[in-house]
Structure 1
Amino acid sequence: MMLSRIADAMFWIGRYVERADQTARILDVKLQSITEDTPEDFAEACRDVYQIFGVERTDDSDHSVQRVLDRLLTDRGNPSSVAGALFTARENARGVREVLSTEVWESLNTTTLGLPRGVRPSRMHGAFQFAKDRCAVVNGLVDSSMTRDEAWLFLRIGQLLERVDMLARNLQDHDLEDSSSGATVTLLRSCSAHEAYIRSYRGRVRSARAIEFLLLDSIFPRSAVHCLGEIEEALETLAKLHGNSFDRLGAAEPGRRIVGRALASLRFRSLDDIVENFDEEMEQLQMVTGAVTRALGTTYFHPAH
């Protein structure tokens, strides 16, 4: 049976690599939009970007594209920035090299060392592309060079939970009242879903359909339903490996119960019902990822003896 410290580290490697990837994707689209469209309220546009990532306290000096880049792209001390997330992932990987393939470790190490320490707005797209490409290489090597054992399962669960959390944050930031194709395309692009959406619907971009696609599409790998379904399967496999599929009363372990309820809530309700209190629904989805993380801690990472 895997040591709890290894399970914990693998889980957070998955989360932090995904966080770096998603942060780069969202910032690439959002900051490009700000610089090209020059919104009337520039400070408010920057505040909106910070809000996606949970940065609530900002002052006037923070409301520039350069400052957003400094805080959310290159700040190695901030685990929510692209560089900070990747450095934290590498630190976790350093302690569990025995369960990572050499290729994964070397790729993650190369990625963190190759990140720039400062990026100007004129060169930000290249920096975001580098981060996205390198995260794709790391994830590809995880899939192609690691056996599907417990270590891989914990990493995969971390990756998927972070993907759901970032999707919910991105959707929460979206103005539902703005049904223009421009705003909807921006949302889809920041979720890396524009091309997949076009292939699925083969028509004009519509706001309601985009929300439905991002939340409920069963075969798009970044949709909330798809990710939660994959998490549920991975948790079930882990439970069987540990012999704790059900407790003495016949109930599934806490993490699976939380994911199962969230999945059922999305699958078996109408889109109109979900959108009615959309901000609260997305807040709840973020709370689900936190609750599952705590449940994993109790069950696997820091179990009571």
Structure 2
Amino acid sequence: MMLSRIADSMFWIGRYVERADQTARILDVGLQSLTEDPDLGVSESCRALYEIFGMHRPAEEQLTVQGVLEDLVTDRANPSSVAGALQAARENARGAREVLSTEVWESLNATTLGLPRQLWPSRMHGAFQYATDRCAVVTGLIDSSMTRDEAWLFLRIGQLLERVDMLARVLQGHDLENTTDASTVLLLRTCSAHEAYIRSYRGRVRASRAIEFLLLDSIFPRSAAYCLMEVDEALDTLAKLHGSTFDRMGTEEPGRRIVGRAAASLRFRSLEDLVADFEEEMEQLQMVTGAVTRALGATYFHPAS
């Protein structure tokens, strides 16, 4: 049976690598749009980016692209930044070397050390490309060099929960009343879904279809529904490996109950119902990821407490 300390580390490696990847993608699209559209207010656009990551700034504060880069890219003390997330993933990997393949450790170590300590707006796209490319390498090595045992399952669950959380944050900050093609394409690009959407719908982008695709598509690996179904399957496999799928009350273990309710809420409700109170729905989806994380802690990471 795997040590709870190792399981905890693997889970957070998955979350932090995915967070670094998603943060770099969101910032690349968001900050690039500022240079392409001079009519966008820099301070307001930067404030919107901070809001996605739960970092609120006073309304009177004038925000700059340089400040965003320092706070959300190069700040190694901030686990919500690209460098901070990768630093945290590396520290967790140091304590789980016995279950990580050498290729994964070396790639994660090189990626973290290769990130710049300072970054200027003129060079930000190259830094974002480096981060997303290297995270893709780490993820690819995880998939190709690790057996599908408990370690991989915990890492996979962390990756998927982080993906759902980041998607919900992006959608929560999206203006549903802005149904222009430009706004919809920007949303899809931010979620790394534009090309997949085009291949699925083969036509002009539509705001309602984009929201539906991001939330409900069953085969797009970044949709909320797909990720929740994969989490449920991984939790089921973990429960079987531990010899039981039931808790003391005779019901399925709490993590699966939470995920099952969230997945059913998405799959068996109409899109109109979901968008009726969209901000609250996305807030609930973020709360689901937190609740599942706590349930995993109680079940696997810190069972004695």
**SS at structure 1 position matched to 2:117:** coil
Deviation at 1:61, TM superposition (A): 6.0
Task: Sort the Cα spacing of 1:231 and 1:73 in 2 relative to 1 into closer, same or farther, 3 A.
Answer: same
Q: Please provide the CA RMSD for this pair.
A: 1.2
Please tell me whether residue 140 in structure 1 is matched to residue 143 in structure 2. no
Please tell me whether residue 203 in structure 1 is matched to residue 199 in structure 2. no
Q: Structure 2 CA distance, aligned partners of 1:39 and 1:69?
A: 21
- Contact map agreement 1:62 1:68 (CA 8 A) in 2: no
1:157 aligns with 157
1:245 aligns with 245
Residue deviations 1:246-267, cap 9 Å, x none?
1244310000000000000000
- Contact map agreement 2:34 2:40 (CA 8 A) in 1: no
Aligned length: 305
Please tell me whether residue 90 in structure 1 is matched to residue 90 in structure 2. yes
**SS at structure 1 position matched to 2:298:** helix
- Contact map agreement 1:163 1:222 (CA 8 A) in 2: yes
Larger deviation, residues 49-58 vs 16-25: 49-58
2:218 aligns with 218
2:28 aligns with 28
Task: Sort the Cα spacing of 1:83 and 1:280 in 2 relative to 1 into closer, same or farther, 3 A.
Answer: same
Please tell me whether residue 232 in structure 1 is matched to residue 232 in structure 2. yes
1:267 aligns with 267
- Contact map agreement 1:239 1:245 (CA 8 A) in 2: yes
Q: Structure 1 CA distance, aligned partners of 2:247 and 2:160?
A: 25
Deviation at 1:43, TM superposition (A): 1.5
**SS at structure 2 position matched to 1:103:** helix
Letter of the 1:282 counterpart: M
1:1-305 matches, cutoff 5 A: 1-58=1-58, 63-304=63-304
Letter of the 1:176 counterpart: L
Letter of the 2:169 counterpart: R
Give me the identity figure in percent: 77
Task: Sort the Cα spacing of 1:120 and 1:291 in 2 relative to 1 into closer, same or farther, 3 A.
Answer: same
- Structure 2 residue runs without a partner (length 5+): none
Moved over 4 A (4+): 58-62
Deviation at 1:58, TM superposition (A): 4.6
Q: Structure 2 CA distance, aligned partners of 1:27 and 1:114?
A: 19
Q: Structure 1 CA distance, aligned partners of 2:149 and 2:23?
A: 28
Letter of the 1:3 counterpart: L
Letter of the 1:29 counterpart: V
Q: Structure 1 CA distance, aligned partners of 2:288 and 2:41?
A: 33
Q: Structure 2 CA distance, aligned partners of 1:194 and 1:250?
A: 44
Deviation at 1:60, TM superposition (A): 6.0
Q: Structure 2 CA distance, aligned partners of 1:239 and 1:27?
A: 37
TM-score by length of 1: 0.98
Larger deviation, residues 52-61 vs 236-245: 52-61
Letter of the 2:196 counterpart: A
TM-score by length of 2: 0.98
- Structure 1 residue runs without a partner (length 5+): none
Q: Structure 1 CA distance, aligned partners of 2:18 and 2:155?
A: 10
Q: Structure 1 CA distance, aligned partners of 2:96 and 2:60?
A: 42
Letter of the 2:189 counterpart: R
- Contact map agreement 1:97 1:105 (CA 8 A) in 2: yes
Letter of the 2:225 counterpart: V
